[in-house]
Structure 1
Amino acid sequence: MRPEMQPAALQPLGFWTVRAGEAIRARTRGRLAELGVTQPEWWVLHQLSMHSSGMEENEIIAIVGPNESDESIVDAIAAGVGKGWIDRAGSRVRLTDDGADRFHAAAEVQRQLNDERRQGISDREYATTIEVLQRTITNVGGDAWHW
């Protein structure tokens, strides 16, 4: 049996943000893996889904590289090309029909995961959590941005 925890206001934010990130990442990656998609591949598919004429590879890297690393995005693009989900014309990439199908399947999984994560959490509570985390990052001299 676990001992009783301290009141939430006395607990370390860093501990809980790390644990939340680990749990969310593990759950997301596990569900996407069921579709044969890595999380970096999902990020690339998602970006390309919003640009029917495609994007420059460096644009995708600049937008989603901070989620993990630029190298992981370069690898995800290469994997997408290898899997037939992405066409490459020079430095420009775009979704193939198979890539669009894979994106739609993965997007449905992401919708399900978002619903799961937000059970019992109001939109206001969710927004407050994000805003508090953003202010905390600023307060400690950090810099973060999410598209």
Structure 2
Amino acid sequence: MNDANRKKLVDQAPADPGATDEMLSSQPIGYWSGLAHEAVTRCLRDEMAKVDVTQPQYWVLNAVNGGAGAGAGAGAPGRAEVGARLASLTDARETARVIDQLLHRGWLRAEGPGSGSGSGPGSGSGGEGALHLTEEGEAARVRLRGLAAEVRAVVHEGVGEEEYVAALRVLRRMIANVAGR
């Protein structure tokens, strides 16, 4: 840490959900970013639960559709590829369970070797069978995209686009500041 940064340091106050605007500069970022994560995730998952869907199911539907890290012109992914696409969000065993749930529900279909759901979560995780959305799965994905957009609107209420972008830039910078430490 250089001298200029030392001079800017402010004593960090204990986390305080009732902190006034004047007190915010001394509040811990981890506390506030954690609260935001918990509140937004809880709101989205509560809304999805009302239609009997989980957030990981939505992630898998999007990953199979070609989102969440698919390259341009990517073909139908197998279990292993879906797991890799979602690795930053959940672990491989959870992804395998969700794929099995969606196959059982009829929202996904699998074709080719290694595509069967087997006898338990992750049993068909060879990754060779291609996964596809069924008509019902695509309809569900589209409905869930609309639900996610509604939740996003609630979360963003009173927050302008410039404020939102600025907040994300600050968070990205803070993450970069501590990466690799």
User: Which structure has the larger Rg over C-alpha atoms?
Assistant: 2
The 1:93/1:10 distance shift into structure 2, 3 A limit, reads same
Corresponding residue number in structure 2 for 1:100: 138
The answer on whether the counterparts of 1:65 and 1:72 sit within 8 Å (CA) in structure 2 is no
Corresponding residue number in structure 2 for 1:133: 171
Which is richer in helix? Answer: 1
Name the count of aligned residue pairs: 142
Write out the 4+ residue segments of structure 1 that deviate beyond 4 Å after TM superposition. Answer: none
TM-score normalised by the chain length of structure 1: 0.86
Q: Work out whether 1:85 is the aligned partner of 2:101.
A: no
Q: Which amino acid aligns with 2:46?
A: G
What aligned pairs does 1:1-147 form with structure 2 within 5 A after superposition? 5-6=19-20, 7-50=23-66, 54-89=76-111, 90=115, 91-141=129-179
Cα offset, 1:47, TM superposition: 2.1
Q: Quick one: distance in 2 between partners of 1:124 and 1:28? A: 23
| Larger relative contact order, structure 1 or 2 (CA cutoff 8 Å, min sep 6) | 1
* Unmatched tracts of structure 1, length 5 or more: 143-147
Q: Deviations over 1:99-118 (max 9, x none)?
A: 01111111110010111111
TM-score normalised by the chain length of structure 2: 0.71
Q: Deviations over 1:24-58 (max 9, x none)?
A: 11111111111111110000112223379532222
Identity over aligned pairs, percent: 25
Cα offset, 1:61, TM superposition: 1.2
